A and B are shown apart, each in its own frame.
Chain A
Amino acid sequence: MHRFANPARFLRLSAAILPWATVLTVLLLGVGLYLSLFVAPPDYQQGEAVRIMFVHVPAAWMALEVYVLMAMSSAVGLIWRHPLADLMAKAAAPIGAGFTAIALATGSLWGEPMWGTWWVWDARLTSVLILFFLYLGYIALWQAFDDHDKAAKAAAILALVGVINVPIIHFSVNWWNTMHQAASIVRVDGPHIYRSILIPLLVMIVAFQAYFVTVLLWRVRAEIAERKVRSLRLAQASQI
Chain B
Amino acid sequence: MTSIIQFLSMGGYAVYVWSSYGVAAIVLIALALVSWRRTKAHEAELQSLQDASPHRRRRRAAQMEEAT
CB pair A106–B23 under 8 Å, yes or no, is: yes
Please pick, from B16, B36, B42, B46, the residue contacting A113 in the complex, using a CB distance under 8 A. B16
Per the bound structure, the CA–CA distance linking A137 and B42 in Å amounts to 25
Please pick, from B20, B24, B49, the residue contacting A110 in the complex, using a CB distance under 8 A. B20
CB pair B10–A49 under 8 Å, yes or no, is: yes
CB pair B39–A48 under 8 Å, yes or no, is: no
CB pair A49–B42 under 8 Å, yes or no, is: no
Contact residues, B14-68 vs A (CB, 8 A): 16-17, 19-21, 23-24, 27-28, 31-32, 35-36, 38-39, 41-43, 45-46, 49-50, 53-54
Inter-chain contacts of B35 with A (CB < 8 A):
94, 215, 218-219, 222
The reply to whether the CB of A17 lies closer than 8 angstroms to some CB of chain B is no
Number of interchain pairs (Cβ within 8 Å): 93
The reply to whether the CB of A229 lies closer than 8 angstroms to some CB of chain B is yes
CB pair A102–B13 under 8 Å, yes or no, is: no
The reply to whether the CB of A56 lies closer than 8 angstroms to some CB of chain B is yes
> Nearest chain A CB to B13's CB is how many angstroms away?
4
CB pair A229–B23 under 8 Å, yes or no, is: no
Instruction: Decide yes or no: A225 and B46 within 8 Å by CB, A102-B27, A219-B35, A219-B39 being known contacts.
Output: yes
Per DSSP, chain B at the interface is helix
The reply to whether the CB of A153 lies closer than 8 angstroms to some CB of chain B is no
Instruction: Decide yes or no: A211 and B28 within 8 Å by CB, A42-B11, A51-B17, A106-B20 being known contacts.
Output: yes
Please pick, from A49, A218, A221, A222, the residue contacting B17 in the complex, using a CB distance under 8 A. A49
CB pair B31–A95 under 8 Å, yes or no, is: yes
Per the bound structure, the CA–CA distance linking A222 and B31 in Å amounts to 14
Per the bound structure, the CA–CA distance linking A67 and B14 in Å amounts to 32
CB pair B24–A215 under 8 Å, yes or no, is: no
The reply to whether the CB of A158 lies closer than 8 angstroms to some CB of chain B is no
Q: 8 extra interchain contacts, Cβ-Cβ under 8 A, other than A52-B16, A214-B32? A: A48-B10, A102-B28, A106-B23, A219-B35, A221-B43, A222-B38, A222-B39, A229-B46
Question: Which B residues are closer than 8 A to A by beta carbons?
Answer: 10-13, 16-17, 19-21, 23-24, 27-28, 31-32, 35-36, 38-39, 41-43, 45-46, 49-50, 53-54
Question: Which A residues are closer than 8 A to B by beta carbons?
Answer: 33, 37, 42, 47-49, 51-52, 55-56, 59, 94-95, 98, 101-102, 105-106, 109-110, 112-113, 211, 214-215, 218-219, 221-222, 225-226, 228-229, 232-233, 236, 239
Q: Which 10 A-B pairs have the closest CB atoms?
A: A225-B42, A48-B11, A49-B13, A48-B10, A222-B39, A106-B20, A47-B11, A55-B24, A52-B20, A218-B39
